[in-house]
Amino acid sequence: MNPFFPLTKPSSATASRAYRDNLEYLRDELRWLDACLSLQYMLLESEEDEMEDVFREHRKLIAEHREHIRSRVAASEAEGVFLALPWLARIFELTEPETLALMVLLAPELDRKYETGYEHLQADKGLRLATPDFVARLVSSSEDEWVQVLDVLRPDGLLARHFLRRDIPARQTAVIGRPIQLDPRMARFLSGDRELPEAMRAFVRLHRPGDGMPPLMGNEATQAKLRRWLARRVNQASGADGSLIISLHGKRGIGKRTHLAHLAEHLGEPMLFVDVARLMRDGHSFGTMLTDLYHEAMLQQAHLALCGFREALEEADMPSRIPDLLDEIAGMNHIVFLTSEHPCLAHDPNRRITIEIELADLSERERLEAWRLASREYSIDPAVDWEALSARFLFTPAQIVRALRTAEEFARWESEDDGRPVIGWSHLIRGCYRQLSHRLGGKAKRLTPKHALGELILPEPQKQKLIHACNHIRYKHHVYEKWGFYRKFSYGTGISMLFSGPPGTGKTMAAEIIARELDMEIYKVDTSQIISKYIGETEKNLQEIFAEASSSYAVLFFDEADAIFGKRSEVKDAHDRYANTEVAFLLQKMEEYGGISILATNYLQNIDEAFLRRINYIIRFPFPDEEQRERIWRSIFPAETPLEEGIDYPFLAQKLQLAGGSIKNIAITAAFLASGAGEPVGMKHILKAYQYELEKSNRSLDRKALAEYAAYLEEM
């Protein structure tokens, strides 16, 4: 009894058009296979003189089937119908016998009955999988074809490399008698399943033309150049030289994947994006998975993009494996893209990487355009100054997109309407700071600005310098970009300032006011804490501080700058020479920094004039005169503080010759004295607090100078 019968067609209610078309094609193939197996079954029962007739019938059957399939495939292609087996045959340039060999191996994956048939027809009973010899006998119409099929089915042959399972235990028998089986992914694809394997979906994304993608934000010229270069190279490449390894590197979020998606859209071809770090974190062996990824790229006819390639291998402490993996990639005869934050050529001494391309940081113009482009889908307050925002935050396209998304959430939280909220300046500023991940907190203290410019008691010329310094940042896009100053200066678009004056004259307060006026973060760096006696350590600390601050142009306020500055023009020993190097390095970083860096010193006279010439603004904070002290006293107490009638502000300004910092301390101490006594703040509390302030510096109070107010001290 012949055990072979046609494959049952699944219900059309559950099968897609593509699946049905592919299944109809497989039904034709299986009808041929059933007939071939029937002939093999007849051979078992034939007499020797009958076998030649069976062989002749087998050759005729193969020839007729090949002609039928050629016609079927041609008609399907004309109609735009996808057939998996002819598709793979075209991709891998398989001959007709090789294509039929795949069908023989696919049959048991479609119906388990073929396992029984294969076991029955092979000499090795109990072997339910096909062997190379059995496959070759089924699909060959001549001895030459039999040899050809055996050749592609050998362990290092084409079908074994790309279509067969690699984990079947070898048997102690001749190669042509060892069992072979289709790779599960290849079997699913041939059956009509074109979706990504479930095991890959966590770290692989297939981008097809027309899927939609974010717009390009910057580096448009690089994209155009890559398209032209790739078109020339693809036209030149063929055969064994068809492998191209293209490495893209640039800052995280600069848009490497977006650029590849746009390139794929331009080519009209899919792109298979692989998150290498996620792949390895999920426990997969990258070397083993590389073959599967290559096969998937071939099945989807997609370019392969290995994203985060260098960083993932370094994170796994496997940088030494990079050359070996590049060897494997180079042998794929495929276009493969590598993306990394840093160049990969350093790990490629044999230069298997065809070309390495840098996606540079966005220019001022590109960043401004990126903000405007990304904001189109939001409701934005028309008063938002995109130029100021772009100049302040050196964001990548990804950070810009996330900042807008976060800003909308802030606006939605504050809005009482159900509609889409309007994003204002304050929402954008908060959204931007949410994107920053610097670690300045380890070497500096973040300050929270609370003072406005009107609260600063300072001579008018010094105040105007502060306003000009703010405008330097506020309008730098206009001057450098629109007025062309970027072409004149390669760096130094920020400003450096030096505040000098006695303690308590408002240097820290002024730095906070600048940060508040510009909606910028401010970090106070205690210079004495970053100075090191070890050579090179001070420079390392400074380098880290400026590098971390660069993403947001935060205000860097170096307090106690006397610790690093000094009058060192006269070099007497190696220590002086090294100290000069530290100062020069700090000034260099300040010049390169795009934001605001402020040095504060109590002793301007100790700083060499050669150093001072490299600083943009030098603002002297003088000891306040009597008029300024009275203004400080009148503004020092908050409006909510209860005050006695008759506080003698002119007397306090005349007799208590103090800087603003000391006046602040006295006001706070007086408030606590009054609160403890259950009284409003009055002269007696202020004078007692003044006495405490003097005692800090081991000074005594001159009661005669207090005149009629000296009696208040007795009350306390």
Q: Reduce the secondary structure of 149-189 to three states and give it as a string.
A: HHHHCCCCCHHHHHCECCCCCCCCCCHHHCCCCECHHHHHH
Same domain? 480 vs 609 = yes
Q: What is the pLDDT of residues 4-55, one digit of tens each?
A: 333 333 344 434 666 777 888 888 888 888 888 888 777 777 666 666 777 7
- Full-model pTM: 0.75
- How many C-beta neighbours within 10 Å does residue 560 have? 17
Same domain? 616 vs 637 = no
Q: What is the pLDDT of residues 298-342, one digit of tens each?
A: 888 899 999 999 999 998 888 888 888 888 888 887 889 999 999
Structure tokens at 155: 């362990």
For strand 335-340 and strand 204-207, is the pairing parallel, antiparallel, or unpaired?
Answer: unpaired
Does 55 map to a domain? Answer: yes
Sheet containing strand 617-620, edge to edge, reads 445-447, 522-526, 555-559, 596-601, 495-500, 617-620
Where is the domain boundary, 382, 403, 435? 435
**Separation of alpha carbons 633 and 672, rounded Å:** 17
pLDDT at 56: 80
Domain count, the chain: 5
Q: What percent of the chain has pLDDT over 90?
A: 31
Cα–Cα distances in angstroms (integers) from residue 200 to residues 272, 328, 518, in the given order: 11, 20, 47
pLDDT at 491: 59
**Separation of alpha carbons 553 and 474, rounded Å:** 12
- Which CATH number goes with the domain that contains 655? 1.10.8.60
Does 5 map to a domain? Answer: no
Q: Residue 480: pLDDT band by 50, 70, 90 thresholds?
A: confident
Same domain? 334 vs 451 = no
Dihedral (C-alpha) 394, 398, 402, 407: value to the nearest 10 degrees? Answer: 40
Contact 598, 498 (CB under 8 A): yes
pLDDT at 14: 36
Same domain? 169 vs 284 = no
**pLDDT surpasses 90 at 384:** yes
Percent of residues in the chain assigned helix, strand, coil, to nearest 5: 55, 10, 35
Same domain? 584 vs 450 = yes
| Number of helices followed by number of strands (H, E) in the chain | 32, 12
- Which CATH number goes with the domain that contains 594? 3.40.50.300
**432 Cβ neighbours under 8 A, 6+ residues apart:** 389, 392, 393, 395, 403, 407, 552
pLDDT at 139: 84
Residue 214 DSSP one-character state? P
Same domain? 43 vs 135 = yes
Where is the domain boundary, 402, 435, 468? 435
Does 556 map to a domain? Answer: yes
Mean pLDDT of the 712-716 span: 65
Same domain? 210 vs 231 = yes
Does 451 map to a domain? Answer: yes
Q: Name the region of 274 (left: φ>0; alpha: ψ -120 to 50; beta: rest).
A: beta
Pairwise pLDDT comparison (321 vs 274), residue with the higher score: 274
Same domain? 172 vs 317 = no
Which structural domain range is residue 277 located in? 198-358
Does 440 map to a domain? Answer: no
Same domain? 320 vs 419 = no
Does 230 map to a domain? Answer: yes
Does 12 map to a domain? Answer: no
Where is the domain boundary, 570, 590, 620? 620
Residue 48 DSSP one-character state? G
**pLDDT surpasses 60 at 569:** no
Same domain? 212 vs 144 = no
pLDDT at 13: 40
pLDDT at 240: 46
Same domain? 409 vs 469 = no
Same domain? 546 vs 475 = yes
**Directed axis angle between helix 51-78 and helix 96-110, to 10°?**
90
Does 211 map to a domain? Answer: yes
